[in-house]
Amino acid sequence: MTQKTIQAPIAVTSRTFSRHPQLREELALCFANIQFNDEGLALKGDELLRFLSGKEGAIVALEPFPKEVLAGLTEMKCISKFGVGLDNLDRAAMEELNIQLGWTGGVNCRSVSELALSYALGICHNVFHSSRQLADRTWKNSGGEQISKKTVGIIGCGFVGSDTAKLFSAFDCPVLINDIVDKSNFAESIGATLASKEKIYETADIISLHTPLTEETHNMISKKVLATLKPNAIILNTARGNIIDEDALYEALRSNQILGAAMDVFAVEPPFQSKLLELNNFFGTPHIGGSSKEAILNMGRVAIENLRAYFYCVRP
């Protein structure tokens, strides 16, 4: 039997979801009263409150939901995440206010892990820099190095970190894994080795960051840490911008203290004022890691299902 369309008023704050015809159509099969972010607004604060006023459910992306915003959403019952990062949501406040979280981990992990691998391949094989040179009409045949056999350190071995470790292990790279929980079984399954952060900093040729942003990981890659890396080290960040001290990274790259870095995430986005963008050994992308065509569709469908499941449960 076909289930009835849910009448609860909901809103989609995510700009990506709102402009995706297929996701809009699939959401409309479940909900009858939907407000999309059709103007493509970067919603926050009072503007976010006004947009969600009177709504009982929402599909959100990176919009900030501190306690003061959540407290103003007096009708809100469920917030479903389009994506996986939760650092924009005050989860303690959501629990206090009895707002349900719809979330499923790992829905875009292959998209992010492939980007991390592409960074490593691009830097090692001199793809990015030589492409810039060629665009400037400079022909310089410098093929770089293979990533095969290079030691790779994975810091943060959740969904994305685990998948990234698997990809690098396929290139016969010795993989070192660090996480706050025991990953010994996973490490054994792919032939990787558990290691301290300090061991990774001192020995890895490629370091790939996959931790959430917490008080412990804020500026985890500091000036002091960068000073311990190998001169040929490459650091990759597809997690959260504030995990790396960007001023310290700039100085390390500018002085050729390390070989290179690539980041998909920044402390301030877009990072148009960042000095990192001036450097030839830095490579940045505009937070595209989890945004492959396949990942967007998967994240959207999971967000719909989490919201639908909640309202069918509370409103049979």
pTM, to two decimals: 0.86
- Is 287 designated active site? yes
Instruction: Report d(CA 6, CA 19) in Å as an integer.
Output: 22
Instruction: Report d(CA 31, CA 141) in Å as an integer.
Output: 57
pLDDT tens, per residue, the chain with 316 residues: 346 799 999 999 999 999 999 999 999 999 999 999 999 999 999 999 999 999 999 999 999 999 999 999 999 999 999 988 888 999 999 999 999 999 998 899 999 999 999 999 999 999 999 999 999 999 998 889 999 999 999 999 999 999 999 999 999 999 999 999 999 999 999 999 999 999 999 999 999 999 998 999 999 999 999 999 999 999 999 999 999 999 999 999 999 999 999 999 999 999 999 999 999 999 999 999 998 999 999 999 999 999 999 998 765 4
Instruction: Report d(CA 84, CA 76) in Å as an integer.
Output: 20
66 upstream amide cis, omega within 30 of 0: no
All domains of the chain in start order, with CATH: 10-107+293-314 (3.40.50.720), 109-284 (3.40.50.720)
Edge-to-edge order in the sheet of strand 260-263: 193-194, 175-178, 152-155, 206-209, 234-237, 260-263, 282-284
- Is 218 designated active site? no
- Is 240 designated active site? yes
